[in-house]
Amino acid sequence: MNAPVLKTSLPGPKAAALIARDSKHVSPSYTRDYPLVMAGGHGAVVEDVDGNRFLDCAAGIAVNATGHAHPDVVKAIVDQAQRFLHMSGTDFYYEPQVRLAEEMQAIAPIKGEVKTFFANSGTEAVEASVKLAKYHTKRHNIIAFLGSFHGRSMGSLSLTSSKVTQRRGFGPLLPGVYHAPFANCYRCPLGLKPDSCAGECVDWIEDQILVHLVSPDEVAAIVVEPIQGEGGYVVPPKQFHERLRALTSKHGMLLVADEVQSGMGRTGKMFAMEHFGVEPDIFATAKGIASGMPLGVSCARAEVMSWPPGAHASTFGGNPVSCAAAIATIKLLRDSLVRNAAEVGEHLIAGARELMKKHQIIGDVRGKGLMIGIELVKDRTTKERAVAERDAIVQACFYKGLLVLGAGKNSIRLSPPLVLTKAQADVALTLLDEAIGECGSVVA
Ligand code: PLP
């Protein structure tokens, strides 16, 4: 399937009719940036209900790791569905769940034995990780980071601090959650320069939070996204994670990596923590794990996953069809897609950096593999955020047949399926170039 191919104005008549029905009975809390109504998909191409084809650099918010409807994943789903759809791993046993736990052991960014808890989503995987950290350490405080996104159920939301809209109206949230600055080197929260950075954000935890707010021996865990996702696709320096590891080990806290978005091959390694050479004690992953079937897992060092029967469980968590999809997904990732994410990602990042020469509005291009952020600014010196321009560019991309999403206040995220080819990456760059040219301030 080639893309983009646009046959109607957007939205087409069928899409417009469905959106009108949606607006009557579907919750208004969803954030649809543009009127895409999907009918089908193949690889990195999405077709809408009016027969328009789009190149997909959004992947259902960084989910469709193996592309849309990968035949191996579809086959695994059908085979499993024909056998049984559900039996609840909470009360019974079934092979796909055990097998997936074995697969997680094989790919986990942790040496030694790992155990897996099964959930249905990213937020549930984070909830499980936080509960486990509290249970295991018998401590109740958690440190998280400003700009982070960990989900929207009440526990995870208490850690989430990406946008105020996500928290507004829902307080009081979980007590005992403290937020520290995240190592965003483009906008250093401490006003320092990347080339002389020694991970001072971690000093801030030691010198401020652990001195003025909470005693280190009462902190269960530090929960961190290896690369901040929703907050803007922000890649911290290696020393940030190294120092978090050292700090948590020193005080008997657990290091919890939220790999919900950065995991499952997206960054060109199976888990983003591998880029930093740091092992967490617990990690949560979801999104790409089952190519779009609902699944989240929390994995921990075997000695940390020490809770007894009944302490935590979920009726649907680890659904057998989702587990079958995950096993097929992991095989594809290991065989070729993690490598493809690294190679095509490098190509796409290089292409986006080339666009910086032409478009002054691009302040920063960052990322690993196919987790790429393009931050837009009104002025490269003041770094004033180009928020309206970002929104306009995301829209313009859609009307050209390219699906992208925003991240943070003023960044574009490129999170395509990991099957994206270099040729498709080039098409994406051309369309992005055009969209920025039309909506951003172009410098000759
Ligand atoms: N953690 C991270 C890093 C995420 O990016 C997300 C979702 O974007 C979540 C947790 C929550 O996942 P879900 O939307 O599946 O609950």
Number of domains in the chain: 2
Residue 443 has pLDDT above 50, yes or no: no
Residue 442 has pLDDT above 80, yes or no: no
- Do both 156 and 231 map to the same domain? yes
**Gap from CA of 417 to ligand 1 centroid (Å):** 17
- Please check whether residue 30 lies inside any domain of the structure: yes
Residue 23 has pLDDT above 50, yes or no: yes
- Do both 215 and 133 map to the same domain? yes
Residue nearest to atom 5 of ligand 1 (CA): 261
Residue 444 has pLDDT above 60, yes or no: no
d(CA 421, CA 427): 10
**Which CATH number is 418's domain given?**
3.90.1150.10
Number of neighbours of residue 378 by Cβ within 10 angstroms: 18
- Do both 342 and 320 map to the same domain? no
- Please check whether residue 3 lies inside any domain of the structure: no
**Which of 64, 121, 148, 149 best tests ligand 1's pocket when mutated (most atoms within 8 Å of CB)?**
149
Mean pLDDT of 425-429: 98
Rounded to the nearest integer, the mean pLDDT of the chain is: 97
Residue 441 has pLDDT above 70, yes or no: no
Mean pLDDT of 340-353: 98
Residue nearest to atom 13 of ligand 1 (CA): 122
Work out the percent of the chain whose per-residue pLDDT is above 70.
99
Q: Which residue has the higher pLDDT, 7 or 200?
A: 7
- What pLDDT is attached to residue 305? 98
Mean pLDDT of 129-139: 98
**Gap from CA of 335 to ligand 1 centroid (Å):** 26
Mean pLDDT of 60-73: 98
Distances (CA, A) of 298 to 114, 276, 391: 10, 20, 34
Contact 188, 221 (CB under 8 A): no
- Cα diameter, the chain: 65
- What pLDDT is attached to residue 199? 85
Q: Tell me the pLDDT tens digit for each residue of 304-335.
A: 999 999 999 999 999 999 999 999 999 999 99
- Do both 324 and 408 map to the same domain? no
Contact 156, 126 (CB under 8 A): yes
Mean pLDDT of 344-361: 98
Q: Which atom of ligand 1 is nearest to the CA of 61?
A: 8
- Do both 352 and 402 map to the same domain? yes
- Please check whether residue 311 lies inside any domain of the structure: yes
- What pLDDT is attached to residue 27? 97
- Do both 308 and 234 map to the same domain? yes
- What pLDDT is attached to residue 197? 82
**Which of 261, 283, 289, 322 best tests ligand 1's pocket when mutated (most atoms within 8 Å of CB)?**
261
- Please check whether residue 158 lies inside any domain of the structure: yes
- Do both 323 and 344 map to the same domain? no
- Do both 430 and 322 map to the same domain? no
- Do both 143 and 292 map to the same domain? yes
**Gap from CA of 265 to ligand 1 centroid (Å):** 16
Secondary structure element (H or E) that encloses residue 254, with its range: strand 254-258
- Do both 207 and 342 map to the same domain? no
- What pLDDT is attached to residue 327? 98
* 39 CA to centre of own chain: 24
Query: Of 315, 333, 351, which marks where a domain is finished?
Result: 333
Helix (H, G, I), strand (E, B) or coil at 2: coil
Q: Tell me the pLDDT tens digit for each residue of 245-293.
A: 999 999 999 999 999 999 999 999 999 999 999 999 999 999 999 999 9
Q: Which residue has the higher pLDDT, 122 or 195?
A: 122
- Do both 383 and 300 map to the same domain? no
Query: Of 312, 333, 354, which marks where a domain is finished?
Result: 333
- What pLDDT is attached to residue 198? 82
- Please check whether residue 7 lies inside any domain of the structure: no
Give the bridge partners for 406, in sequence order.
412
Q: Tell me which residue range forms the domain holding 58.
A: 13-69+336-439
Ligand 1 site residues, Cβ closer than 6 angstroms: 61, 121-123, 126, 149-151, 225, 229-230, 258, 260-261, 286
**Gap from CA of 357 to ligand 1 centroid (Å):** 33
Query: Of 333, 352, 379, which marks where a domain is finished?
Result: 333
Q: Tell me the pLDDT tens digit for each residue of 80-106.
A: 999 999 999 999 999 999 999 999 999
- Do both 38 and 176 map to the same domain? no
Tokens at 264, concatenated? 């499952």
**Which CATH number is 302's domain given?**
3.40.640.10
Contacts for 24 with CB less than 8 Å, ≥ 6 apart? none
- Please check whether residue 363 lies inside any domain of the structure: yes
Q: Tell me the pLDDT tens digit for each residue of 394-410.
A: 999 999 999 999 999 99
Tokens at 376, concatenated? 């837009």
Exposure of 193 by Cβ count < 10 A (0-12 exposed, 13-18 middle, 19+ buried)?
exposed
**Gap from CA of 356 to ligand 1 centroid (Å):** 30
Exposure class string for 392-422: b at 16+ Cβ within 10 A, else e: bbbebbbebbbbbbbbbbbbbbbbbbbbbee
| Helix, strand, coil tally for the chain in percent (to 5) | 40, 20, 40
- Please check whether residue 28 lies inside any domain of the structure: yes
Mean pLDDT of 223-235: 97
Contacts for 397 with CB less than 8 Å, ≥ 6 apart? 403, 404, 431, 432, 435
- Please check whether residue 8 lies inside any domain of the structure: no
